[in-house]
Structure 1
Amino acid sequence: MGMVLPVKLKKGKDIPSASTAMVFGLVLGLLQTLFLVFGAKILLLVMGVKPNSPMMKPALKYLTLRSMGAPAVLLSLAMQGIFRGFKDTKTPLYATVVGDVTNIILDPIFIFVLRLGVSGAAIAHVLSQYLITLILLCQLVKQVKLLPFHIKDLQFGRFLKNGVMLMGRVIAVTFCVTLSASMAARLGPTPMAAFQICLQVWLTSSLLADGLAVAGQAILACAFAEKDYEKVAAVAVRVLQMSFVMGMGLAVVVGVGLHFGSGIFSKDAAVLRLISIGVVFVAVTQPINSLAFVCDGVNFGSSDFAYTAYSMILVGGASIASIFLLSKSNGFIGIWVALTIYMVLRAFAGIWRMVTGTGPWRFLRTPL
């Protein structure tokens, strides 16, 4: 999972913060690749994949190949953050759609025509990520000078301050989801297959709310910079209302779609039976997930990085404990109950800051 540093920018020839974001993205991407390549087998063992498991060999191939795309993923995320600073959400959307469509086209070619199997899926994904990065880079160089003449112009101090806090948050989020997958893997191949299908639908549908979060984040950042608190309050309320409505709609679409369309993902009766259980949690949590994602965008728009980091670490700690306890006692259902608790706590933490009128939201306790 990548990290995006939201920045407020004006289009120009020389923007040090843009260059700094690119440098951080590239360095972190290379480090992530090295970590995943040399630690792939250890990571899979930690995830619960046993050495003699039939999942070990294909999982090892897939993880190793996918890791090659880490620099592209983090570079593209950094550039998406830069475009957000320009209030340009169309360019990242265009690049992402082109990359995803390319991935969809290449998947069956590499997997079935060239008979590369799991390796083909990983290669298709990596190529699509580099295509997204290339498109974004070509558009970005038309607007800014990415490399300043002096290294001292790079704003490493500023980025490290906020970056370390956000990195802690990303680690907490990633660990919760990874641990839940690990617990599912320990239950066996069938529960793992059903869990991964439900998880991918759960995350994909929930991330649709991220588009609303990005829009709210950009508008709020400008409103805070201009100290237009009336606009801040109006935008925050509106995006939260819209996120809940979106979540309700997603609950119906995902619930009905996964209930009747689960056969697209698997023909195994045991897997389908577990999916029918997981779909309840996937659908019911959609409004909560939408609120959680949009709350993140709202708090990022207020530059409240410290709170979002510390609150997520606390939420992550409580969620990790619930994943361990509930997966041991209730298996597949327990994992989904724990993930529901995780998203409820995440949404609560995001809303709490605004409701209590603390931090950058102190103005809510005084008449506008």
Structure 2
Amino acid sequence: MGEEYDQYSSWFRERRRIPLSIFFKDVRHVFKLDKLGLEIARIAFPAALALTADPIASLVDTAFVGQIGSVELAAVGVSIALFNQVSRIAIFPLVSVTTSFVAEEDTVGSVCPEAQEYEYLEMGSTKDSESKELLPRNDGESASMSGSPDHSFDTAKCEHERRHIPSASSALVIGGILGLIQAVFLIFGAKPLLNFMGVSSDSPMLKPAQQYLTLRSLGAPAVLLSLAMQGVFRGFKDTKTPLYATVAGDVTNIILDPIFMFVFRLGVSGAAIAHVISQYLISVILLRRLMEQVNLLPPSIKHLQFSRFLKNGFLLLMRVIAVTFCVTLSASLAARQGPTSMAAFQVCLQVWLATSLLADGLAVAGQAILASAFAKNDHNKVTATASRVLQLGLVLGLVLAVFLGVGLQFGARLFTNDINVLNLISIGIPFVAATQPLNALAFVFDGVNFGASDFAYSAFSMVLVAIVSIVCLLILSSSYGFIGLWVALTIYMSLRTFAGLYR
């Protein structure tokens, strides 16, 4: 992270005098399908589709379970929430770190394996972004190490099909271990965890919830492995392969659901089994494809760079906990205001969060392209990419603001017919719509920071934002109720956006 971080900081210090200029750089080309525009679109669109494929499959899953009964539907809902919450703590840091590291190493890997092996021997695995110095300069001259002749690293592409990407191997090992830990944790702790979630021992939800959670936990290793591999492919700027694998798995899940649930009469257990099978299918597809492109056996264990992964992963773990706590606290405060307030808040919150998946596609594109550009010391592309994805993010946020501001007024009835809940939703709609530009920019700024491997700033700034936001949530919700919650969440997203802009 060292040299890359220094380059990133110095690059922005030069522009701090006119920090808003990045939004207007070549703004007339924001929709232009030039080389950069096509590269962003090629990464962002499949990434956004892949991110939305799983929620759609989960909605279909929920529809099938709902045919069994309301108790089973509620039980599965609690189990899914618990599983996703535990998974998120490991998934986000692992995927984000993997994408940046793989993008850097893939750029360095444009030289032949002999050069990479020389790098391993001379520089050691403790070097991070310094390895980018092996790359040719923008003027076509090859950068060389001290005391090494320039011709040591020819820029000719390797004839070998497989690449040497140590971070890919590291991601798989760490993902597999975390998946096993998660599976053991959820299987043996299912009952107390469900009790903690509010499913008491005498609740009719406990048995189906425990069955579903226990069986679905068997797929945790596949979930972590598949997402680790998605991080690898994102680092390669390939978001189509994860999309195809995800769609294949989700379609399999949708087909198997009614077979296991109704034909074999397995109920909620059948839904869990179908989901587990689909996750392992996704992992097999991704692993097979990855093995065709990457040599997953590094020269030695030291090249796996576990310390680098763990250090930066821990920083992002802090960030995930801060984000999760803010959102969870807001839901908890809404629940304390009563079922009507909670129902309205839940509808608004889910719409508010779901639209972020579209901005995440741009964030993934920005992260992958920026990590590669920083590795090449190509600061012109860094500037152009950061400007373009931020401009596209702002446009996306404005479009979503208009769409939700108008559409949610009518679409709210799809969620409930309760007049009191609908009245509260109408109060929340202006906040949901108005914060869309802030949300989009905040997520794209995250992609910019991750692309520069600036994980430390992302983590510590988010912790500070969370502290201020938590204070605002507690004060405003107690004073102004439902409106106070959304004012506090607007402050929360404003602070996240400002933190990204300031950097």
TM-score, length-scaled by structure 1: 0.82
Q: Are the equivalent residues in 1 in contact too, given 2:334–2:345 (CA < 8 A)?
A: yes
What CA distance in whole angstroms lies between the structure 2 residues aligned with 1:172 and 1:202?
18
Q: How many residue pairs are counted as aligned between the two chains?
A: 352
Q: Does 1:24 align with 2:143?
A: no
Match of 1:161 in 2: 311
Q: Are the equivalent residues in 1 in contact too, given 2:428–2:486 (CA < 8 A)?
A: yes
SS at match of 2:237: coil
Q: What's the offset of the Cα at 1:211?
A: 1.0
1:120-154: CA deviation from partner (whole Å, max 9, x where unpaired)? 76666555444433332222122123344743332
Of 391, 405, 417, 1:241 maps to 391
Q: Are the equivalent residues in 2 in contact too, given 1:205–1:254 (CA < 8 A)?
A: no
Match of 2:237 in 1: 87
Q: Are the equivalent residues in 2 in contact too, given 1:18–1:146 (CA < 8 A)?
A: yes
| 132 and 230 in structure 1: CA distance in 2 versus 1, 3 angstrom threshold | same
What CA distance in whole angstroms lies between the structure 2 residues aligned with 1:240 and 1:132?
32
Q: Are the equivalent residues in 2 in contact too, given 1:19–1:154 (CA < 8 A)?
A: yes
What CA distance in whole angstroms lies between the structure 2 residues aligned with 1:111 and 1:279?
37
1:23-102 mapped onto 2 (5 Å cutoff): 23-39=173-189, 49=198, 51=200, 57=206, 67-102=217-252
Q: What's the offset of the Cα at 1:101?
A: 4.6
Q: What's the offset of the Cα at 1:320?
A: 2.4
SS at match of 2:292: coil
Of 444, 447, 453, 1:303 maps to 453
1:71-108: CA deviation from partner (whole Å, max 9, x where unpaired)? 33322221111112211121122233344455566667
Q: Does 1:218 align with 2:368?
A: yes
What CA distance in whole angstroms lies between the structure 2 residues aligned with 1:201 and 1:16?
39
| 164 and 210 in structure 1: CA distance in 2 versus 1, 3 angstrom threshold | same
What CA distance in whole angstroms lies between the structure 1 residues aligned with 2:365 and 2:413?
35
Match of 1:132 in 2: 282
Q: Are the equivalent residues in 2 in contact too, given 1:65–1:123 (CA < 8 A)?
A: yes
Match of 1:15 in 2: 165
Q: What's the offset of the Cα at 1:292?
A: 0.5
Matched to 2:245, the amino acid is A
Q: Are the equivalent residues in 1 in contact too, given 2:219–2:279 (CA < 8 A)?
A: yes
Q: Does 1:257 align with 2:407?
A: yes
Q: Are the equivalent residues in 2 in contact too, given 1:326–1:337 (CA < 8 A)?
A: yes
Of 323, 335, 342, 2:473 maps to 323
Matched to 1:301, the amino acid is G
| 101 and 259 in structure 1: CA distance in 2 versus 1, 3 angstrom threshold | farther
Match of 1:359 in 2: none
SS at match of 2:355: helix
What CA distance in whole angstroms lies between the structure 1 residues aligned with 2:335 and 2:205?
11
Match of 1:313 in 2: 463
Structure 1 or 2, whichever has the larger Rg, is 2
Bigger RCO (CA 8 Å, 6+ sep)? 2
What CA distance in whole angstroms lies between the structure 1 residues aligned with 2:448 and 2:278?
30
What CA distance in whole angstroms lies between the structure 2 residues aligned with 1:351 and 1:29?
35
Q: Are the equivalent residues in 1 in contact too, given 2:226–2:283 (CA < 8 A)?
A: yes
Match of 1:333 in 2: 483
Most deviating of 332-341 and 309-318: 332-341
What CA distance in whole angstroms lies between the structure 2 residues aligned with 1:187 and 1:61?
32
Matched to 1:345, the amino acid is L
Of 329, 334, 337, 1:184 maps to 334
SS at match of 2:447: helix
Match of 1:170 in 2: 320
Match of 2:356 in 1: 206
| 339 and 228 in structure 1: CA distance in 2 versus 1, 3 angstrom threshold | same
| 352 and 180 in structure 1: CA distance in 2 versus 1, 3 angstrom threshold | same
| 136 and 237 in structure 1: CA distance in 2 versus 1, 3 angstrom threshold | same
What CA distance in whole angstroms lies between the structure 1 residues aligned with 2:275 and 2:381?
41
Most deviating of 288-297 and 91-100: 91-100
* Structure 2 residue runs without a partner (length 5+): 1-87, 110-160
Match of 2:29 in 1: none
Most deviating of 97-106 and 6-15: 97-106
Percentage of pairs with the same residue: 68
* Structure 1 residue runs without a partner (length 5+): 354-368
Matched to 2:388, the amino acid is R
Q: Are the equivalent residues in 1 in contact too, given 2:373–2:379 (CA < 8 A)?
A: yes
| 208 and 103 in structure 1: CA distance in 2 versus 1, 3 angstrom threshold | farther
Most deviating of 224-233 and 179-188: 179-188
| 199 and 86 in structure 1: CA distance in 2 versus 1, 3 angstrom threshold | same
Match of 1:358 in 2: none
Q: What's the offset of the Cα at 1:309?
A: 1.1
| 171 and 120 in structure 1: CA distance in 2 versus 1, 3 angstrom threshold | farther
TM-score, length-scaled by structure 2: 0.62
What CA distance in whole angstroms lies between the structure 2 residues aligned with 1:31 and 1:260?
45
Most deviating of 261-270 and 208-217: 261-270
Q: What's the offset of the Cα at 1:308?
A: 0.8
Q: What's the offset of the Cα at 1:118?
A: 6.8
